[in-house]
Structure 1
Amino acid sequence: MLNTVAWFEVATDDPQGAEKFYGELFGWSFAADAESAKGGTDYRLIGYPGAEGFRGGLFATGGAFPGHAVFTVAVADVAATCERAERAGGEVVFKLLDNPTGPDFGYIRDISGNLFGVFAPRSER
C-alpha cells in the first residue's frame, strides 16, 4: 500500500557489527541484496522471526552517509513526494531517481529535523 510505512533501514559504517548486534538482540537474519551488489552497493536484507520475507535493510555506508535507523514510506513518485516535502517545510537530504539496481528513493528531514525515507516500489515506476 502506498503512503504507509513499508520498510525500515539501518545504515552503518560497521555492517558486520550491526548484524551481530541486531542478530543477537532480536534474532534478525541478514542476506545480501544481489541487485544492489550489481551496482556496487553493500545492502543487506533483514528478516526477523515470524515475518514472511524481508522487512528491512542494512545499508553499509562506507562512511559516505551518517549512521541512522529510519522508517521508509512507499510512495508512487519519489520526485513529486520530495517536492511536496519541500513545500511543506521539509528538506530533501538525498534522492536517487531512475535507479537501475533498485527502487527510486530519497531521504527527507521533517520540520523537526527527523530523518525518514521514501521509496517507489518498482511496480509503481
Structure 2
Amino acid sequence: MDNTVTWFEVATDDPDGAQRFYGGLFGWSIASSATDVMDYRMITYPGGESPSGGIFNSKGEFPGHAVFHVKVADVEAACAQAESLGGKVVSKVIGDGAGTDFAYLHDTSGNLFGVFHPRS
C-alpha cells in the first residue's frame, strides 16, 4: 500500500513543524498523546485503523532522528511535494526497467528519511 511504513519514530525539537510537514506530505493523521512527562504524537496512515508511528518532542535533549522508508506512487512527485513543504532532496535514483526508484530526503528539521517505488 502506498504512503505506509511499519512503526517508526521521529524525534525533533520542533514537533509542530514535523506534524505539518509529514501530515502535509503523506496525508497522515497526527494526534497528541501527551502526558505531563512527554509530548508524544501518534501517527495514523490514511485508512489505517490504529497508529503506526509517532513524533517525539526531544526538547533538544536528544539528536533529531527519523530513518524510515515510505512506499509512494511516484518518487518524483513525492520529492517535489517535499520541497514545496520546506524539505530537501538529498539524493534520488530514478530509472527505467526493473528495480526501484528511490530518494533520500531531509524534513524541515533536517531528519533523513526515504521514499521508494518499485518499477516492476
Q: TM-score, normalised by structure 2?
A: 0.49
Q: Which has the larger helix fraction?
A: 1
